[in-house]
Structure 1
Amino acid sequence: MNKSEATASRLSLSNRALGLSAPGTSSMRSKANALKESGVKVINFAAGELSFDACQDMRTGAIEAIENARNRYTPPIGLPALREKLAQRVSQRTGVTFAANEVAVTAGAKQALYNACMVLLNPGDEVIVPSPYWETFPTQIRLAGATPVLVPTRDDDYRLTLEAVQGALSERTRMIVINTPNNPTGTVYQRQQLLAIAQLAFERGLWVMFDECYRGLVREPHEHHNILALFPALKAQTVLIDSFSKSQAVTGWRVGYACAPAPVIAAMHNLQGHTTSNPSSLSQYAALNTLNADSTQFADQVNPFLQRQLHAARTYLDRLEGIRYAPPEGAFYLYIDIASRLGGYYRGQPIRDVDHLADLLLTEAHIAVVPGSGCGDPHCIRISYAVEYQELIEGLSRFAQFMSAIVMD
């Protein structure tokens, strides 16, 4: 090895960095934005956010914070008043008492999840993750040195079952991840499923990471269930993860939170103090104002809109032969099985895999979707139906035309 080669070796990226890739959602968003900038009208079904402007209570809280010069650092894991209010709210809706020292405010739910992985997992630990999954789950688990154990859910209506968990357990299992309403599938876990998993986790002494960021976005007649509301004894083994991003249409404001036993929150405080420090002070004051307002007006607008959007989307998709999708019960996603079109030909061009199909949808039909490959699934794509109505109809029309043009051998 010569001197330049030795220097390059010393200055290379870490193994950790080399193992990372950009999330599929952000990659597709970047591709779509680049196409838009070239003058092409792209229908963006890849964005995981509402088409609504920010909730009025969030806007008011942020503006008041600016006008009152709320520009300084806050404690690393959030304003005391916000943590206290969140503890009260979570206590009310779960029936399980939480104190302010059991709440950490974070820069979005993603940081809450990362903090939990970093303070609870050790190298060699295993974490049960339902597949398909939001791709951040296994990535953050690996960053903590642990191993994600991916459990297929396709044959169980895309929900983790007790039997599946039992089959994935080992002596190294430390945590189970549950995300309901689910991203990417849109499914909502049923009461008995959660109870059975909670009982198992309790008996085995396992942590449960319960991500309920879409809990306020559920389609009729389905209902969201919080695992602690069903099984309060699991509190000492549970990390609840929630966010204002999705339900209040403020994805860019980055404000989420975790609820967990006080020692876990104290460890998160230490970690966050050395990473980002506090979340945006303006976002925190906005969240506090929203909690104090205690209004359902925004949700009362959003959920009927999403109900109508879903009905329109299913009308289009149900006409397509060989196309199925996961039960769309919550969040605002349709998780579409396109396996019947893989291996076919679009205008003479063979469709190699789901990533190739997603690229063709963008370049040929000018529709941005999320390929399921990033979610551990080579057969599906995810689309958001939370876009404007006219964009939904135009995008689905393009999608239907594209899929109908695929010729199978």
Structure 2
Amino acid sequence: MAGNIESSGATAPRPLAGRTALITPPGTSRMRVIANELKEAGVHVVNFAAGELDVDTSDVIKEAAKAAIDGKRNVYTPTLGLMPLRERIAAQLSERCGTPYTAAEVGVTAGAKQALFNAAMVLLDPGDEVIIPQPYWVTFPTQVEIAGARPVFVDTRETGYRLDVASIERAVTPRTKAIVINSPNNPTGVIYDRDAIVGVAELAVRNDLWIIFDECYSELVRPGHAHTNIVAACPVAKDRTVVVNSFSKSHALTGWRIGYAAGPSRVIKAMENLQGHTTSNPCSIAQYAVIEALRSGGRDFIDDVNRRLDERLDRALAIVHSMNVMGDGIGCAPAEGAFYLFLDIRSTIGKRHGGHIIPNVGALCERILSEAKVAVVPGSAFGDPTGIRLSYAIADEDVTEGLERLRRFFAAVE
């Protein structure tokens, strides 16, 4: 009996699964947490660390959600989403890509992050290698590692943060299974050009590789630039490509968690089996709301968002171009899409601010927060120890105030 078991004293807790060592908090979250704590304490912090629009979603979506609630649409849906939603996404993809997609080739997920996780789990085996351009969105390598595969990074800094097909090709080995492409890019804001996209597609075809194509910011493009979908640019790559997208950024729905994966039907079926044992269907109310957004078009809302972002970017770049450290300018990746500025701050490393040495980008960001009361994300979170990411999808006055604070901060580095 349990009462007769003699206690041998305190014992060490049983270890967790080994894979938990691969899973650490996203590097984008720490600065947001600290910034929010300071705000709650009454400190005026300009928060450039967020990865979402500062506008409310459209009335069309809100009214559709209310109608779904009133209509008692509160029950389970099919695992990969309502068929009318999958059909509308397939029709939209078919039009954009110029090649037909069916509902069987589309799966709706709880945000794009789940679509990416599903892709990693159904495509990758332990020991596989996955090529990821660097800087990268924080979750790409972690999901690859959770699947037992190994991320292989290709640095884009020396090519102006642009995709270089020759560098990608040099990274291919007999173990390479997939390439992850994210355009418009988070964190840099760069849109990869059509020739590079086609080059990667042709490389994948030659080497029998999967392509995971994350285009979550495809609707958020600055004037003079154009987003290229890899299937539209190279239709022959469709049978080896998983396109990942969401409504989080384009429709200001980050909290509603509706994304999707589009790819070969056998891949989507495998995702359905996996999702059936993890989350099951995404939120039913959000699905009905997105159906209405797709039915009505929603172009006015997206166009208005882009106009706001265009104005903020102009204001931001005017200040960024005046920043310098001991006479050296602060570099900036080409801000062509999404809503990020990615600054090259290598000129600050090893220097001092207020008598304190700056040993690395993490320390720099913490000092910027403590002294300038500005929250930014260290580039180390994205695999780049020489950069910082700022989101300009915040209030107009905060864009100006925050960047002026940064300009004064950098001017005091010696």
Residue in structure 1 matching 2:222, options 213, 219, 222: 219
| Equivalent-residue separation in structure 2 for 1:3 and 1:356 (angstroms) | 45
Task: In structure 1, give the amino acid aligned to 2:12.
Answer: A
Instruction: Show the counterpart of 1:97.
Output: 100
Deviations 1:149-204 (A, max 9, x none): 00100111212211011110000001001000000000001011111111111111
| Equivalent-residue separation in structure 1 for 2:120 and 2:197 (angstroms) | 21
| Equivalent-residue separation in structure 2 for 1:235 and 1:388 (angstroms) | 40
2:76 pairs with 1:73: yes
Q: Note if contact 1:46-1:384 (Cα within 8 Å) is conserved in structure 2.
A: yes
Q: Cα distance 1:110–1:4, how it changes in 2: closer, same or farther (>3 A)?
A: farther
| Equivalent-residue separation in structure 2 for 1:19 and 1:143 (angstroms) | 7
Instruction: Show the counterpart of 1:152.
Output: 155
Q: Note if contact 1:130-1:159 (Cα within 8 Å) is conserved in structure 2.
A: no
Superposed, 1:7-406 pairs within 5 Å as 7-8=11-12, 11-321=14-324, 322-406=329-413
| Equivalent-residue separation in structure 1 for 2:231 and 2:160 (angstroms) | 23
Unaligned runs of 5+ in 2: 1-6
| Secondary structure of 1:406 counterpart | coil
Q: Note if contact 2:216-2:244 (Cα within 8 Å) is conserved in structure 1.
A: yes
Residue 352 of structure 1 deviates from its aligned partner by 1.5
Residue 59 of structure 1 deviates from its aligned partner by 1.3
| Equivalent-residue separation in structure 2 for 1:300 and 1:121 (angstroms) | 38
Instruction: Show the counterpart of 2:3.
Output: none
Task: In structure 2, give the amino acid aligned to 1:343.
Answer: G
Q: Note if contact 1:213-1:242 (Cα within 8 Å) is conserved in structure 2.
A: yes
Residue 363 of structure 1 deviates from its aligned partner by 1.3
* TM-score (norm: length of structure 2): 0.96
| Equivalent-residue separation in structure 2 for 1:264 and 1:214 (angstroms) | 23
| Secondary structure of 2:322 counterpart | coil
Residue 25 of structure 1 deviates from its aligned partner by 1.3
Task: In structure 2, give the amino acid aligned to 1:249.
Answer: A
Q: Note if contact 2:182-2:214 (Cα within 8 Å) is conserved in structure 1.
A: yes
| Equivalent-residue separation in structure 2 for 1:3 and 1:283 (angstroms) | 53
Task: In structure 2, give the amino acid aligned to 1:105.
Answer: V
Residue 295 of structure 1 deviates from its aligned partner by 2.9
| Equivalent-residue separation in structure 2 for 1:4 and 1:222 (angstroms) | 67
Q: Cα distance 1:364–1:76, how it changes in 2: closer, same or farther (>3 A)?
A: same
Residue 4 of structure 1 deviates from its aligned partner by 5.8
| Secondary structure of 2:25 counterpart | coil
Deviations 1:118-140 (A, max 9, x none): 00000010000000100100000
Q: Note if contact 2:22-2:146 (Cα within 8 Å) is conserved in structure 1.
A: no
Runs of 4+ deviating beyond 6 Å = none
| Equivalent-residue separation in structure 1 for 2:125 and 2:78 (angstroms) | 27
| Secondary structure of 1:171 counterpart | coil
Identity of aligned residues (%): 51
Q: Note if contact 1:58-1:287 (Cα within 8 Å) is conserved in structure 2.
A: yes
Corresponding residue pairs, total? 404
Task: In structure 1, give the amino acid aligned to 2:245.
Answer: D
* TM-score (norm: length of structure 1): 0.97
| Equivalent-residue separation in structure 1 for 2:68 and 2:25 (angstroms) | 34
Task: In structure 2, give the amino acid aligned to 1:267.
Answer: A
| Equivalent-residue separation in structure 1 for 2:268 and 2:295 (angstroms) | 23
| Equivalent-residue separation in structure 2 for 1:172 and 1:55 (angstroms) | 46
Q: Note if contact 1:358-1:370 (Cα within 8 Å) is conserved in structure 2.
A: yes
| Secondary structure of 1:219 counterpart | coil
| Secondary structure of 1:8 counterpart | coil
Deviations 1:271-297 (A, max 9, x none): 111111111111111111100011311
